[in-house]
Amino acid sequence: MILDGKAVSDRIIEGLKEELAKRGSKPYLAVILVGNDPASRVYVRNKKKKAEYIGVKTDIFEYPDDVDESVILNKIDELNNNSEITAILVQMPLPAHISKEKVICKISPQKDVDCFTPENVGRLSAGLEPYFYPATPQGVLMLLDAYNIEVEGKHAVVIGRSNIVGKPMAQMLLRRNATVTICHSKTKNLEDIIKTADIVVSAVGKKIVRCKMVCKKSVVIDVGIYRDSNGNLTGDVDFNEVEPVVEYITPVPGGVGPMTIASLMCNIVKS
C-alpha cells in the first residue's frame, strides 16, 4: 500500500483551519529570510501561503546576503520580546558569515517551531517534552498513525544521522517503544541490517534502498528528495523495485514532504 502523505496532510490542514476559525486569538508567525537563494524563497513562500490559508498571521523579514550578523541576532531578540509573535522561523541556509549556531541559540525555545534550539533538542534527547517536535520526524509518525501502523515493539532502522531528521527520528521512535538502529555512511553490512527492519526510514539524499535490501511486511519511509540526472524528483528508495515487495511505502513526491508541512503547521498552531 502506498502511504498518501498528501491526502493525510490535506485532512490535517483542513482540521487546523477549522480549529483556528473557532479561536479568538490566532498564532503569529515571523519568518527571517536572508539572501536570494531561489529554493529558500520557494520554501518561504509555500510556508507563508499554507500558514495564511489556515488563519495564521505571517510576516517575512527579508535581508540582503551581506547583512551583518548582529542585525539578524538583534531582530531575533526583538521577535522574542514581542508578545504578539508566537512562532519564529529562520530559513536555512544562511550566508557563510552568519553563524547558524548563534542564530539558532538566539531563538526562544517557546517560539522555536522548527525544534532547532539546544533546549528543545536537549529535552527531546532527555526524554522530556520539548516545546515542539521536529517537523519531518513528527510528520512521519503522524503518517504512520493515519494508517494505524504500529511502532511499539517494532525494529526501526533509520538511515542517516542528521540533526534535522536522523537523530530526532531515532529519539521519537524510541519514545514510541520501537527498537532503533541508526545507520550512516560508515555502517558496515548495511544491507543485512535493513533486511531485519520492520520500519525503514531513509534520509540521506541519495539512492540507497533497493529491492534486495527489504523484506515483506516492511514499512519503507522515504524522506530523501532531490532531482535526478533527468531533472525528475526522486528519493532514497528505488520505488519501482521496492514497492511490489513491501507492505507499505511512501512515494516521492507526495509522501513525507506534505507531512512535513502539515507537522510544521501543527507546531505553529500549538505556539
For the chain, first and last CA: distance in Å?
34
Residue with cell string 533546549 = 119
Residue type for 117, please? T
Count Cα atoms within 13 angstroms, Cβ side, for 250.
Answer: 34
The angle at the Cα of 238, spanning 42 to 177, to the nearest 5 degrees, equals 85
Q: What is the mean pLDDT of residues 22-49?
A: 94
Q: What is the mean pLDDT of residues 179-202?
A: 96
- Flag whether pLDDT at 207 surpasses 90: yes
149 Cα distance to chain centroid: 19
Alpha helices in 160-255 (DSSP H): 166-175, 190-195, 239-242
Of the candidates 116, 150, 162, 124, which has an alpha carbon nearest to the alpha carbon of residue 264? Answer: 116
Choose, from 47, 48, 50, 106, the residue flagged as catalytic.
47
φ, ψ of residue 255 in degrees (nearest 5):
-110, -95
Q: What is the mean pLDDT of residues 129-133?
A: 97
Choose, from 112, 114, 198, 236, the residue flagged as catalytic.
114
pLDDT of residue 228: 87
Mean pLDDT of the chain: 96
Tell me whether residue 91 is one of the annotated catalytic residues: yes
Q: What is the mean pLDDT of residues 77-95?
A: 97
Choose, from 75, 91, 112, 198, the residue flagged as catalytic.
91
- Flag whether pLDDT at 111 surpasses 90: yes
pLDDT of residue 25: 87
Q: Are the beta carbons of 95 and 34 closer than 8 angstroms?
A: yes
pLDDT of residue 147: 98
pLDDT of residue 262: 98
Report residue 231 as a C-alpha cell: 531533472
Report residue 69 as a C-alpha cell: 550578523
Tell me whether residue 114 is one of the annotated catalytic residues: yes
Q: Is 202 in a helix, a strand, or coil?
A: strand
Model confidence band, residue 24 (pLDDT cutoffs 50, 70, 90): confident
- Flag whether pLDDT at 125 surpasses 90: yes
Q: Are the beta carbons of 261 and 47 closer than 8 angstroms?
A: yes
Report residue 219 as a C-alpha cell: 514499512
- Flag whether pLDDT at 51 surpasses 90: yes
